[in-house]
Amino acid sequence: MTWQIHRGDALAVLPTIPNGSVDLVLADPPYNSGGRTAGERVGSTARDKYVSTDAGHTLADFAGDNRDQRSYTYWLSLILSECLRIARPGASCLVFCDWRQAPATSDALQVAGWTWRGIIPWRKPISRPQRDGFKRECEYVLWASHGTPVRHETPIYLPGLVEGSQPRGAARVHITQKPVGILRQLIRVCPAGGTVLDPFAGSGSAGVAAIEGGRSYIGIENTAHYAEVARGRLAQAAKETSA
């Protein structure tokens, strides 16, 4: 099992990756939602939108979260269409999104040529209640495939919903960090020994899950700080797994 992190913009790096070389695309793009108004969406940084003013932590900011919804859909379809080229026939694609971007994300997937196959809610048990309304307790993972999904040698049956809270305290190194436990469950859709492509690697949680699960990993991350963080976590995970 090998791993690599490319430092650069996904749209610039993806074209350098050869055709039909990965078995799962796992994308956690910047959501470009969260602001209550169009002005708030384009004006503020990701930190201002996603981190409550009373939150104590001081996590690094990330760029690329300032698109309006139409541009978001177009941009994401460009990314996903490059990913389709890189994916083997039968490969799966999993894209994280929040409730607001779910329709745009399903559009982008299908525009890019992927076959949409389902929605897997990610339930976050620790979430803020909302007065006089329904709690925003879930994010969503859209599942798609490149044609007919591959048949696994030993059949697998995956859950229809995943649960797990975001890492807290020292374990949390990125604002929108996903729990490794969630990613471990999702990565099982990639045949054992296969390769996972992650165009928005962030702090590398998907890579950690991939390596622990015996898959190779190709990550792309634009922010130099997070690319470094991811390399550190991946080296550590690779060492622990081989041990």
Partner DNA sequence: CCTCTCGATGAATCCATCT
Partner DNA sequence: AAGATGGATTCATCGAGAG
The site that binds a copy of itself (CB under 8 A) totals a number of residues, namely 38
40 binds a copy of itself (CB under 8 A): no
Give the H or E element holding residue 232. Answer: helix 224-242
15 binds a copy of itself (CB under 8 A): no
123-155 burial: b if 16+ Cβ within 10 Å, else e: ebeeeeeeeeeeeeebbbbbbbbbeebbeeeee
Here's the x/- map for a copy of itself, 199-238, by CB under 8 A: it reads as ----------------------------------------
166 binds DNA (CB under 7 A): yes
75 binds DNA (CB under 7 A): no
Residue 88 touches which member of DNA, a copy of itself, none, C-beta under 5-8 Å by kind: none
Residue 161 touches which member of DNA, a copy of itself, none, C-beta under 5-8 Å by kind: a copy of itself
74-84 burial: b if 16+ Cβ within 10 Å, else e: ebbbbbbbbbb
* Residue 64 burial (10 A CB sphere; 0-12, 13-18, 19+): middle
Shortest distance (Å) from residue 122 CB to a copy of itself: 10
Residue with smaller CB distance to DNA, 2 or 61: 61
Residue with smaller CB distance to a copy of itself, 179 or 191: 191
- Three-state DSSP class for 172? coil
| Cα distance between residue 57 and residue 174, in whole Å | 10
Structure-block tokens of residue 15:
């074209």
Q: Are 23 and 151 in contact (CB under 8 A)?
A: no
Residues that bind DNA in the complex, under the rule CB under 7 A = 28-31, 34, 36-40, 43, 46, 50-57, 65, 96, 98, 117, 124-131, 133, 136, 139, 148-149, 151, 155, 157, 164-166, 168-170, 172, 175-176
